Amino acid sequence: MNQPDGTGTPAHRPTSSLAPALPALTVIASLLGLLVLWSLAATLWPSRAFPPPQAVWQVLVQDGASGELPYHLGVTLARVAASFVVAMVLGSVIGVLLGSYRRADRFFNPWVILFLNIPALVIIVLAYIWFGLNEAAAIGAVAVNKIPNVVVTMREGARAFDPRYAEMATIYRFSPLDRLRHVILPQLQPYIAAASRSGIALIWKIVLVVELLGRSNGVGFQIYLYFQLFDVAAILAYTLAFVAVMLVIELLLVQPLERHATRWRRRPA
């Protein structure tokens, strides 16, 4: 952390202008390669169940123009966001409590293991039976699926707390809010990042199942509809559109936030 010989100069950043663009170029080349492969395969084995990229693109443009695609994407995205927030907040609070109080952890650990091992489908079906086919049940079911994972990650984070910072905060009389903002959350940051990364990926997949089983809109509902019509091009169009949205969120929101939160770390020169 502290180096006795350091003179206090910040680490230097790479100066070449091409270097930052290189990873992006690699990603684009890799995706183009996949597209070419798909296109080749679809021309070699033409089938209604395996449409070429153009057919999928047509559906994308058509449904995008009619407003149907953006509407269902928006609905699903809202459900993902709501479930994510609920799962992260509840999971973090429970995880930090269990990580801080060993007795509570011993008592509740079997519960955590139980919930970790209940299949997502069972929780969704039970939520719909108990609470009805409504939005709250849908979002709650997705959140309950994710909470145990968040609890396990955040519990590790709380166990790794450095007691010296807590002692310093006690002596200098930090307010509870300052303690949370400046002492607790920064220490949890790597664990929050890990939990959110795996969380978003898991949650949006479960949201599709929830929509398929008991909602009348959203990407999951549309995929179910096109499954009954045997329209593979539309299924792929909705899937790709949603994956693209999640990628954009990752690139424009998650990564910049993470860079901001870890700006104090000394970067390897």
Residues that bind another protein (CB under 8 A): 1-10, 164-165, 167-168, 170-175, 178, 182-183, 186, 189, 261, 264-266
Q: How far is CA 5 from the centre of its chain?
A: 41
Helix 120-131 / helix 135-159 crossing angle, nearest 10 deg: 130
Judged by beta carbon, residue 45 or residue 264, the one nearer another protein is 264
* Smallest distance, another protein to C-beta of residue 200, A: 24
- Cα–Cα distance between 159 and 156 in angstroms, integer? 5
121 closest CA partner among 142, 150, 135: 142
The least distance separating another protein from the CB of residue 205, rounded to whole angstroms, comes to: 33
Smallest gap, in angstroms, from Cβ of residue 263 to another protein?
A: 8
Least distance to another protein, CB of residue 192, Å: 13
CA distance 114 to 152: 12
Q: Are 209 and 76 in contact (CB under 8 A)?
A: no
**Who's near 219: CB < 8 A, 6+ residues apart?**
72, 73, 75, 76, 208, 211, 238, 239, 241, 242
- Distance from first CA to last CA of the chain, Å, rounded? 15
| Closest distance of CB 19 from another protein, Å | 23
Judged by beta carbon, residue 8 or residue 67, the one nearer another protein is: 8
Residue nearer to another protein on the CB measure, 78 or 166 = 166
Q: Which is nearer to another protein, 5 or 110 (CB)?
A: 5
Radius of gyration of the chain (CA): 23
* For another protein, the closer CB: 3 or 15: 3
